[in-house]
Structure 1
Amino acid sequence: MSAALEIKGLRVSYGRLQAVDQVDLSIPEGGLQALLGSNGAGKSSILNAAMGLVPSHGAVYLNGADISKMAPEERLARGLCLVPEQRFLFGTMTVSENLELGAWRRREGVRSRLERVYELLPRLRERARQKAGTMSGGERQMLAIGRALMSDPKVLMLDEPSLGLAPLIVRDILTLISELRNSGLTVLLVEQNAKAALRVADSGMVLDLGKITLRGDAELLAADPRVVATYLGEA
């Protein structure tokens, strides 16, 4: 199976700090890969570099095409989309307005994509006229994902989608991510909740100080004593 997203020899530095050091990853079409690691391990830097938001060295391929030199807007137009940890919603705009902004690069088929988002996330339909800034944390995360889907992505990258959310909302978010993968979307998931992430992922990687230290099948990683002791809270 061909790779939807492939990264080779990625390096990201902030001054003298080497945040990402020679990272390789490959996600097959329709795959869901979890990227695990502690705070400061370099997870967000990988996503930002793949999206072209920070300077980096190495190569990024989307469906076999080298997008390493493209601007973020061009990568988005090609089908790569990032939902950042901060979400960056427009709080004074309504839910429907935020969603339609997500389609600014792909104006054709906007209504059908909006209907698809509402089908996946019926709560957003109920709150279509509500201002985004008045929503709960879980609803804002759903809106951020819905807005990303409006760009009709081929590969969706998610940075800590469960951060700060109640357990029941985390379950809903991860169920949604699993449904998106089942629909054929390729997903790269950065998540501190390692147990939940490995439960929905096909494969996973563990990042430590900018380097990949473990990678493999999600079930095997969830049973690996090193992962259990460090990330699953079970000695």
Structure 2
Amino acid sequence: MLKIEGLHAYYGKSHVLHGVAFDVRPGEIVALLGRNGSGRSTTAKAIMGQVDWQGSVQWKGASLAGRKAYEIAHLGIGYVPENRDIFPRLTVHQNLLLGQKGSGAGSRWSFDDMYTMFPRLKERQHTEAGVLSGGEQQMLTLCRTLMGDPDLIIIDEPTEGLAPKIVELVGQYLERLKDRGLSVLLIEQKLTIAMEISDRVLLMGHGSVVFEGTPDALRADAAVRKEWLEV
């Protein structure tokens, strides 16, 4: 589905990614782990065409080289950035409406789906998004991306700053996506949620993938965790 080979990315003259390679298969949750500055968010931005890159990024067999972010989104890749990029003066419902691809006809997801998964959003559907709590804004951002009916959703740090109960809710949400046949690339610092819901984990360090395997394999490799994850 998504296949990345020899990916190098740059911020100006700064060389950030060094030959990143991995894939995400249909209906799979892949966690991209690592410390701050390891290159995880830059990898997501490269996939979405938001930073300069070299190498190969293929989506369903077609190259994404030279495509704009909105073009990539229309091809079926949804992106939930770390900064919860909502429209604060629009209501919850209006934010979701803006996420729809075209008329929304034929989409796997409806407003009812969003409100069923997150009843709190239904309660606040006529409230301006800017006054929502951090957890509610995260729910809204995830749901707005889903309204575009992606086949793969890239989620950057969805649990950052959230209360433990909301973190658990986000984990359940991501598993529901998998049940609906979506693929998920989860960029996360919280090891617990990533290890619980992921099929595979990728560990990044200094702009490269330094480990790839199952959650159980990472749990068993204390040396890798100590060098690349633990503070």
From 104, 109, 112, give the equivalent of 1:108: 104
From 46, 59, 79, give the equivalent of 2:56: 59
Partner of 2:79: 82
Distance 1:69-1:15 versus aligned 2 partners, 3 A rule: closer
Greater mean alpha carbon deviation, residues 71-80 or residues 215-224: 215-224
TM-score by length of 1: 0.92
From 122, 139, 145, give the equivalent of 1:125: 122
Partner of 1:135: 132
For the pair 1:186 / 2:183, whether they are aligned, the reply is yes
SS of match in other structure, 1:128: coil
- Which runs of 5 or more residues in structure 1 are unaligned? none
**Offset, 1:112:** 5.9
Distance 1:166-1:182 versus aligned 2 partners, 3 A rule: same
Greater mean alpha carbon deviation, residues 204-213 or residues 222-231: 222-231
Greater mean alpha carbon deviation, residues 144-153 or residues 166-175: 166-175
- Taking the aligned partners of 2:154 and 2:199, their CA distance within structure 1 comes to 15
From 70, 74, 83, give the equivalent of 1:73: 70
Distance 1:112-1:179 versus aligned 2 partners, 3 A rule: closer
Partner of 1:144: 141
SS of match in other structure, 2:186: strand
Greater mean alpha carbon deviation, residues 109-118 or residues 42-51: 109-118
**Offset, 1:167:** 1.2
Kept in 2, the 8 Å contact 1:83–1:158? The answer is yes
Kept in 2, the 8 Å contact 1:85–1:161? The answer is yes
Give the share of equivalent positions with the same residue, in percent.
37
SS of match in other structure, 1:187: strand
**Offset, 1:108:** 3.3
- Which runs of 5 or more residues in structure 2 are unaligned? none
Distance 1:176-1:108 versus aligned 2 partners, 3 A rule: closer
Q: In structure 2, give the amino acid aligned to 1:180.
A: L
**Offset, 1:111:** 10
SS of match in other structure, 1:56: strand
Distance 1:111-1:133 versus aligned 2 partners, 3 A rule: farther
Kept in 2, the 8 Å contact 1:194–1:231? The answer is no
TM-score by length of 2: 0.93
**Offset, 1:217:** 1.2
**Offset, 1:14:** 1.6
For the pair 1:174 / 2:171, whether they are aligned, the reply is yes
Partner of 2:4: 7
Q: How many residues align?
A: 230
SS of match in other structure, 1:197: helix
**Offset, 1:233:** 5.3
Partner of 1:215: 212
